[in-house]
Amino acid sequence: MYVLFVCLFVFSGQPDPPRNLESQEVTTDTVRLSWQPPAYDGGSNITTYVIEKKSVKSQYWGRCISTRNCFHTVTGLEPGTEYQFRVSALNLYGASEPCTASKAIATKRKFFCQFSFCINLICVYLLKKKKDFSV
């Protein structure tokens, strides 16, 4: 009589970092980010992604937000400022290392003169000039 034992080892732990972090859209105060899930989830479903940011002038990372999706629009950024972002994945067993940080992403600068405001200024100027030349 032969007895066959099958041993099944399941390794569970922290997930790998998320992959392929990209910026999709940049405005004066927002950046839309997307990424792919980790190649290995650590044997447990990914429950949350944590997004961190830092100004390129700083050496410190700060937590922005947590999300369940592989995309998010980070808000509340300063216009004309360069930022880097990174994302970590969390599962039942803990957090992954952060993914490779993004390249520097510059938010757009605010224009001080709105188009309609400029048109109004030009019209007022021209009307004043016309009035000055009337006899």
Q: Where in the chain are the domains? A: 19-133
- CA–CA distance, 20 with 110 (Å, rounded to integer): 29
Q: Is 62 exposed, middle or buried (0-12, 13-18, 19+ CB in 10 A)?
A: exposed
The answer to whether residue 9 scores a pLDDT higher than 60 is: no
> 56, 57, 74: which is closest to 65 by C-alpha?
74
> Going by C-beta distance under 8 Å and a sequence separation of 6 or more, which residues neighbour residue 7?
none
Convert the pLDDT of each residue in 14-52 to its tens digit.
Answer: 999 999 999 999 999 999 999 999 999 999 999 999 999
Structural class in CATH, domain 19-133: mainly beta
Q: Enter the tokens of residue 93.
A: 């067993």
At 77, is the pLDDT very low, low, confident or very high (cuts 50, 70, 90)? very high
What pLDDT, on a 0 to 100 scale, did the predictor assign at position 7?
A: 47
Residue 113 identity (one-letter amino acid)? C
DSSP H or E run through 124: helix 115-133
